[in-house]
Structure 1
Amino acid sequence: MSLNARRLTPTMGIEVRDLDLARPLGESLFAEIKSLWNQADGVLVVREQQLTEVQHIAFARHFGSLHSLAGHTVTKYLHPEHPEIYRVSNKSRDGKPMGRKGAGTYWHSDQSYEQTPAQASILYALEIPPRGGDTIFCNMYKAYAALSEPMQRFLSGLTATHDFAVAQSGGFRNEEVTAEQLALAPPMSHPVVRRHDDTGRPCLFVNPGFTSHIDALAPEESRALLDFLYRHLAKPDFHYRHVWQPNDLVIWDNRCTMHYAVMDYDGQGERLMHRCTAIGEAPVAAAA
């Protein structure tokens, strides 16, 4: 079939309508969806879905094995009957949170601190506030391409360490993180410029949420370089801001994007979202 798709912005993003993901997908249809995802530079928005938890999980599995957060500090936010689903919500039931409130309120790429970081994150909006709660995405392909050629060559020879402990003073500062949980996520080193496994294109792979330092550089040099890259990545030229609609399913590619969840909806209304995450491959350095 030919999908009803349109580009959302020149920067990134494709929207798809008239597609029912509750129905089983054949290989050819999923291949078309994944092709659009890659053309979208990492953000595909599928509108007007009506998915049960089982259907959400079944669709997400097309992207690969699903991530398990057992033992993680966010384990308490997993769906009680479907642990493949991580719940993001400001709602409570019987005095207990139904999901993590204010999740993702920092620039990051999901699970970049792991040996095989997340590939696809598939977030489904069951309830959204009447205003606020947007998600901002950064196109890491474009950010890399906008650097000078000498800087590209310099970065292509570097690796950086990603460490969940960085989030203790950032995005997870309001969560209790135990020594046992940190031990389950030891620091990992990845290329600063990775080659995307599907497209073969080079993209930056550092983020303020989890990257601790550039390997082989002195601490002052590492900090100066990361500060420069983060200022560069903060440019709106590389961003797409998603304004959520009810029943949106947004699929983003953590290999070539990072994202920031805007927490401006407190007191505006209730939010409930379900996320499945497909595991990716170990990052490989792009050719210099």
Structure 2
Amino acid sequence: NGKPIGALGDKEAEWHTDMSYVAEPPMASVLYSLEIPSKGGDTSFANMYKALEDLPDDLRAAVENRIVNHDASTTSVGELRAGANAVLDVRTAPGAKHPAIRTHPATGGKALYLGRRLNGYLEGYSVEESEKLLDRLWAHCAKPEFSWTHKWQLGDLLIWDNRCAIHRRDSFDGSERRVMHRTQIKGDAPR
């Protein structure tokens, strides 16, 4: 009826891991396309095993055995969640704390685990140092050599592992609809 639907609207969704702001984030996500726009709305995925493997030595040393505070106040399009207050100090943002490098419980492999950039905080550093390190980490993770983009077709079903991948969505024309059903698969606390 001419009014926006859904929680995320038609804006671009930045790189993120689903629900990393909870103590036990989902191990995987499932997305099924019911309606897709004529263009845009594609979903890209980045391999966090590979991003960690190719991380410069100084950056790896800076995040090894460090904890990241995963902000719970905003969505993946950067909007404030209902009932949340704006974050004035990233060190005290609400949300879970997880290792910057996690061990995958099934494969034993190591992967970067950053959540989302907005209001993230790398504990043990000043806010300025954390911001610089996180900016470098996210720029590194977003390199094209780590990613793949899925161009949606009606009826596509995607399943991805949130423990070793990040993803993002392209924006699309707000006069068109993009309707997806999403399911989360229960996970455990990152280690």
**Equivalent residue number for residue 232 of structure 1:** 140
**Equivalent residue number for residue 281 of structure 1:** 188
User: What are the equivalent positions in structure 2 for 1:137-148 lying under 5 Å apart?
Assistant: 137-148=45-56
For the pair 1:178 / 2:83, whether they are aligned, the reply is yes
Unmatched 5+ stretches in structure 1: 1-91
Q: Percent identity?
A: 39
Residue 99 of structure 1: CA displacement? 2.5
Which of 13, 27, 37 is residue 129 of structure 1 equivalent to?
37
Which of 163, 171, 187 is residue 263 of structure 1 equivalent to?
171
CA distance in 1, matches of 2:120, 2:178: 31
Q: For 1:228, what is the secondary structure of its paired residue?
A: helix
Q: For 1:125, what is the secondary structure of its paired residue?
A: strand
**TM-score scaled by structure 1?**
0.58
Q: Deviations over 1:86-119 (max 9, x none)?
A: xxxxxx5xx7655232377121111101100121
- Give the counterpart letter for 1:171 in structure 2: V
Runs of 4 or more, structure 1, over 3 Å off, are 95-98, 148-151, 207-211
Residue 209 of structure 1: CA displacement? 4.3
User: What are the equivalent positions in structure 2 for 1:102-251 lying under 5 Å apart?
Assistant: 102=10, 105-165=13-73, 167=74, 171-173=77-79, 177-179=82-84, 186-209=94-117, 212-251=120-159
Judged with a 3 Å threshold, the aligned counterparts in structure 2 of structure 1 residues 99 and 179 are, in CA distance, closer, same or farther, namely: closer
Contact 1:108 1:209 (C-alpha < 8 Å) held by counterparts: yes
Q: Deviations over 1:199-245 (max 9, x none)?
A: 11101011434552111111111111101101111211111111001
Contact 1:106 1:260 (C-alpha < 8 Å) held by counterparts: yes
Residue 264 of structure 1: CA displacement? 2.3
CA distance in 2, matches of 1:271, 1:261: 11
Cα RMSD between the aligned structures?
A: 2.5
Structure showing the higher helix proportion among its residues = 1
Contact 1:128 1:272 (C-alpha < 8 Å) held by counterparts: yes
Q: Which one has the largest radius of gyration?
A: 1
Unmatched 5+ stretches in structure 2: 88-92
Q: For 1:152, what is the secondary structure of its paired residue?
A: helix
**TM-score scaled by structure 2?**
0.85
Judged with a 3 Å threshold, the aligned counterparts in structure 2 of structure 1 residues 198 and 102 are, in CA distance, closer, same or farther, namely: farther
CA distance in 2, matches of 1:179, 1:155: 28
Q: For 2:46, what is the secondary structure of its paired residue?
A: strand
Judged with a 3 Å threshold, the aligned counterparts in structure 2 of structure 1 residues 210 and 176 are, in CA distance, closer, same or farther, namely: closer
**Equivalent residue number for residue 58 of structure 1:** none
Larger RCO: 1 or 2 (CA < 8 Å, sep 6+) = 2
**Equivalent residue number for residue 90 of structure 2:** none
